[in-house]
Structure 1
Amino acid sequence: MVRTGAAATTIGAGEFFDRARERLRFDIPPGLTDAGIVPLTGDDDNDAVLRTIALETPIRPAAVLIPVIAREQPTVLLTQRAAHLKEHAGQIAFPGGKIDATDASPIDAALREAWEEVGLTRDFVEPIGYLDLYGTSFGFRILPTLARVRPGFDLRINTNEVDHAFEVPLSFLMNPLNHKLGRKQFRGRTRSFYEMPFAERNIWGATAGILRVLYERVYLK
């Protein structure tokens, strides 16, 4: 998770999508459902927590969509989870959720959730590939799907799950100067996590961590 080095964020939209297509694949990592494989971050304290969680908590496979909208200046579509939810209420998130038994694949789950949460229809979405599996301290194993989204869609917000949907410039999210490193205590260890404050919202936790992984996979050589 915590890596040094920063790359320039001046690549254009076309190069971003070209690099992503070259570097990402649709292979489903076995750790999505295998309790014996723990998705690691590279941060010793975080990894120790994830190993402990893997022993205590049943695997909760999940999928999210990283919808990059192919505008002249690309943006990422994010949601703010509904304030009444029991888990992660009010937090900034990607469209996504648990992988159901009826989902044909993690991509299918991510696309279904995007439709259910914000009304984003599949005909506007071109999946590009999976990022690395991302583990959380709640036992979720999240497989993110990067996708190119064609402009022109109309959203329909499901207020049972989402309060707001909004766009953030990709250039902001992929600028390492905006990747702030926060820390908190968890089970006697200091855990590191990324934060990306944008306007009145704070993008942090798994969402910021996944965006950092996207930056490392596409922008770093």
Structure 2
Amino acid sequence: MNQTILRDDGFSARAFAQRVAAKGHETLSVDHGDHLLNPDLDALIAATKLREAAVLIPIVDHGDEAGVILTLRNANMRKHSGQVAFPGGAIDPEDDFQPEKAALREAHEEIGLEGRHVELLGRLPRYLTTTGYSITPVLGLVHPPFDLTPNPDEVADVFEVPLSFLMNPANHRRESRIWQDKERFYYTMPFGDRFIWGVTAGIIRTLYERLYS
């Protein structure tokens, strides 16, 4: 029986791509989301008509140490304003209802990342949210050199976080707050003055559990 052997190249883009090739297509039918930390949300999510969306998880090839591009959403956005997010948005008919096309289009619209710099690797399982979205995270390697031009209507800032930081479970904090009179749990991953939490942290945690745990 043939098996893929994982080489330990640390947190390089090449090592990431190898992990995706080895594990990236397993159990895509198993949804992740807010309900995993809060099982009573199953019924709420099941009763909600979810809108299909996609985000790009951009892994930048810096040689031995890959980075992950994240955005800070504009404070005037209707949903998730002022939060750290991956570039992404709703899957539209112009995307032929394909998550990969939507993720690349949104990344170009939001931060000016051209698709020719992105090597698509695969997907993570859908991430279901209590805000009404079924999000497909699309994995892509970003090959320098490239230029980014944030759309000021949507993005306040663009920054990178080392992949090694995000894939270190010691940096994953399980926190809670009271929402609708119940304690709700979620992950946070503070990085300097950036506070990564909510859906974005949940997707990062899914990436860790799928490829690195």
Determine if the TM-score, normalized by the shorter chain, exceeds 0.5.
yes
Give the distance between the partners of 2:33 and 2:111, measured in 1 at CA: 30
Structure 1 partner of 2:144:
151
> In the aligned structure 2, how far is the partner of 1:112 from the partner of 1:27?
26
1:67 corresponds to which of 58, 75, 79: 58
One-letter code aligned to 1:58: K
Of 57, 64, 88, which residue of structure 1 is paired with 2:80? 88
- State the distance in 2 between where 1:64 and 1:11 align: 25
After TM superposition, list the pairs within 5 Å mapping 1:120-139 onto structure 2.
120-139=113-132
Q: What is the percentage of aligned positions where both structures have the same residue?
A: 44
Q: Distance in 1 between matches of 2:90 and 2:109?
A: 12
Q: Which residue of 2 aligns with 1:208?
A: 201
Q: Please, what TM-score do these two structures have when normalized by structure 1?
A: 0.85
Deviation of 1:156 (Å): 1.1
1:176–1:124: structure 2 CA closer, same or farther, 3 Å change rule? same
Gaps of 5+ in 2: 1-7
- Pick closer, same or farther for the CA change 1:174–1:19 going to 2, 3 Å: same
In structure 1, list runs of 5 or more residues that go unmatched: 1-8, 32-38
1:190 aligns with 2:189: no
Whole-angstrom distance in 1 between the partners of 2:40 and 2:25: 28
Displaced runs of 4+ in structure 1, greater than 4 A? Answer: 26-29, 40-45
Q: Residue 190 and residue 44 in structure 1: after superposition, are their counterparts in 2 closer, same or farther (change >3 A)? A: farther
CA distance in 1, matches of 2:199, 2:80: 11
What amino acid maps onto 1:80 in structure 2? L
**1:26 and 1:174, CA in 2 relative to 1: closer, same or farther beyond 3 A?**
closer
Q: Indicate if the aligned counterparts of 1:40 and 1:50 stay in contact, CA closer than 8 A.
A: no
User: C-alpha separation between the residues in 2 aligned to 1:41 and 1:103?
Assistant: 24
- Contact 1:63 / 1:144 at 8 angstroms: preserved in 2? yes
CA RMSD between the two structures = 2.2
**DSSP 3-state at the match of 1:102:** helix
Q: CA deviation at 1:61?
A: 0.9
User: CA 1:82–1:133 in 2, change beyond 3 Å: closer, same or farther?
Assistant: same
Deviations along 1:186-214, whole A, 9 cap, x unmatched?
33432211000001010000001100110
Residues 23-77 of structure 1 deviation map (CA, whole Å, 9 limit, x = unaligned): 1239975x9xxxxxxx45596662321421331x321111000000011211000
- 1:137 to 1:108, Cα distance in 2 relative to 1, 3 A: same
Distance in 2 between residues matched to 1:42 and 1:201, nearest whole Å: 21
Equivalent pairs counted in the alignment come to 203
Residues 127-186 of structure 1: per-residue CA shift (max 9 Å, x gap):
111101111110111110111110111011111111100001111111100001111223
